[in-house]
């Protein structure tokens, strides 16, 4: 069956759907952020191997709950679990790909990249301190742009979301007021606006609500043709959201600096760095009760690391550096074992 468009498939088990599941089929659930690339990988993997990967795009919080409940073969999250939580739950975490979060708007006549915002202004919009599009703080950044005298409607994630964690981590880094009043997390107490479930729901709501602003993974903005704003980075520049700027943000990443490769790439230095760049992560059990299924999960992502870079880049995700992929494979081989203590993956 052909993979459904992710724009209309929120919350469904989408990717290599088959009428009868084979023994090698695997199931996962979680982050909506990587759903477009996981779907493409699954489609290609199914065609080459005959094995299916069924993924539920339900949000990072849901993915963590599902793997903890052992109802899926792997969980997926954009907000990396902390080392103590990984240890407590017996989980192993590894990244798969990098992407970026972009502000998106629905303002009549405004084209992608036409509006510039700073992190401080973006935070003040979502705090409700800037209420109209022609506010002087926005106008002074956008000379010559026809900004309407219209109320701004912020759109946020209504579910527990790794994308929200990444977005609010960035806002906490650039706005003292945001850090003090709301902080960072997979959910926060949004002071105003409308909620949407998943990246899909936020994208759909922004498209429907005039003069709104939301935040989504870049692939959702591009594929749904929603205008994005430019965002000032740490160097004071306004790079385009594209592979080049996402790679620039990851250029100096130290992947071994946090347990489970759980680093943050927000607000990185560099003239070309997109300020809200982030990896996305997979969770599996270190000691697995279903070694055959866990082995199939690792086979799928191993195949994706070897064969999926072009598919990822076509959707404006950034493949992991080769040395990081080798680190991941080493961790798989040394740390993931069956209940009998046998390695599940061999390099």
Co-location of 291 and 201 in the same domain: no
pLDDT computed for residue 4 by the predictor: 36
* Residue 346 covered by a domain: no
Co-location of 37 and 72 in the same domain: yes
Q: How big is the CA angle at 256 (ends 26 and 99), to the nearest 5 degrees?
A: 55
- Whether 215 has a pLDDT exceeding 50, the answer reads yes
Co-location of 94 and 120 in the same domain: no
pLDDT computed for residue 347 by the predictor: 82
* Residue 314 covered by a domain: yes
Co-location of 111 and 205 in the same domain: yes
pLDDT computed for residue 8 by the predictor: 35
- pLDDT average, residue stretch 45-50: 97
* Residue 9 covered by a domain: no
pTM of the model: 0.88
Co-location of 303 and 197 in the same domain: no
pLDDT tens sequence across 251-300 = 888 999 999 999 999 999 999 999 999 999 999 999 999 999 999 999 99
Co-location of 239 and 164 in the same domain: yes
Structural domains in the chain (count): 2
Co-location of 60 and 143 in the same domain: no
Question: Given pLDDT bands bounded at 50, 70 and 90, which one contains residue 23?
Answer: low
Residue 249: its H or E element: helix 243-250
Co-location of 130 and 236 in the same domain: yes
Mean pLDDT of the chain: 92
* Residue 195 covered by a domain: yes
Co-location of 43 and 112 in the same domain: no
Co-location of 91 and 227 in the same domain: no
* Residue 130 covered by a domain: yes
Cα 64–chain centre separation:
14
**Which residue range(s) make up the domain with 162?**
100-252
pLDDT computed for residue 252 by the predictor: 81
* Residue 66 covered by a domain: yes
Co-location of 108 and 49 in the same domain: no
Q: How big is the CA angle at 57 (ends 210 and 207), to the nearest 5 degrees?
A: 10
- Domain with residue 234: its CATH number is 3.40.190.10
- pLDDT average, residue stretch 165-184: 98
When comparing pLDDT for 20 and 342, which is higher? 342
DSSP tally for the chain: helices H, then strands E: 13, 15
- Whether 179 has a pLDDT exceeding 90, the answer reads yes
Question: Given pLDDT bands bounded at 50, 70 and 90, which one contains residue 345?
Answer: very high
- Whether 13 has a pLDDT exceeding 70, the answer reads no
Distance CA(253)–CA(325), nearest Å, equals: 14
* Residue 18 covered by a domain: no
- Domain boundary pick from 236, 252, 268: 252
Co-location of 47 and 170 in the same domain: no
pLDDT tens sequence across 104-155 = 999 999 999 999 999 999 999 999 999 999 999 999 999 999 999 999 999 9
pLDDT computed for residue 24 by the predictor: 75
* Residue 19 covered by a domain: no
Closest by Cα among 148, 106, 152, 163 to 126: 152
pLDDT tens sequence across 233-248 = 999 999 999 999 999 9
């Amino acid at each position: 069956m052909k993979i459904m468009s992710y724009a209309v498939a929120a919350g469904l088990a989408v990717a290599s759907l088959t009428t009868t599941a084979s023994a090698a089929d695997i199931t996962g659930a979680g982050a909506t952020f990587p759903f477009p690339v996981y779907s493409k990988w699954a489609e290609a993997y199914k065609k080459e191997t005959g094995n299916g990967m069924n993924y539920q795009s339900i949000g990072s919080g849901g993915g963590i709950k599902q793997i903890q409940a052992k109802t899926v073969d792997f969980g997926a999250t954009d907000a990396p679990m902390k080392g103590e939580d990984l240890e407590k739950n017996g989980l192993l975490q590894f990244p798969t790909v990098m992407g970026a979060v972009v502000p998106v708007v629905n303002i009549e006549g405004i084209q992608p990249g036409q509006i510039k915002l700073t992190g401080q202004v973006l935070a003040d919009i979502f705090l409700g301190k800037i209420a109209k599009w022609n506010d002087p703080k926005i106008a002074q950044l956008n000379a010559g742009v026809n900004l309407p005298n219209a109320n701004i409607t912020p759109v946020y994630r209504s579910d527990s979301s790794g994308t929200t964690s990444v977005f609010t981590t960035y806002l906490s880094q650039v706005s003292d007021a945001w850090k003090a009043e709301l902080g960072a997390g997979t959910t926060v107490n949004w002071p105003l606006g409308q909620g949407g479930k998943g990246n899909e729901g936020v994208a759909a709501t922004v498209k429907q609500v005039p003069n709104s602003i939301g935040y989504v993974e870049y692939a959702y903005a591009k594929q749904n043709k929603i205008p994005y704003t430019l965002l000032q980075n740490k160097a004071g520049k306004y790079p385009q959201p594209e592979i080049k700027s996402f790679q620039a943000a990851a250029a100096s990443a130290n992947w071994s600096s946090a347990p489970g490769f759980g680093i943050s790439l927000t607000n990185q230095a560099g003239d070309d760095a997109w300020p809200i760049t982030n990896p996305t992560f997979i969770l599996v059990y270190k000691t697995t009760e279903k070694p055959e299924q866990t082995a199939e999960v690792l086979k799928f992502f191993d195949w994706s690391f070897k064969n999926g870079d072009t598919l990822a880049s076509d959707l404006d995700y950034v493949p992991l550096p080769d040395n990081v992929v080798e680190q991941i494979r080493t961790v798989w081989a040394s740390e993931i074992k069956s209940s009998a203590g046998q390695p599940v993956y061999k390099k």
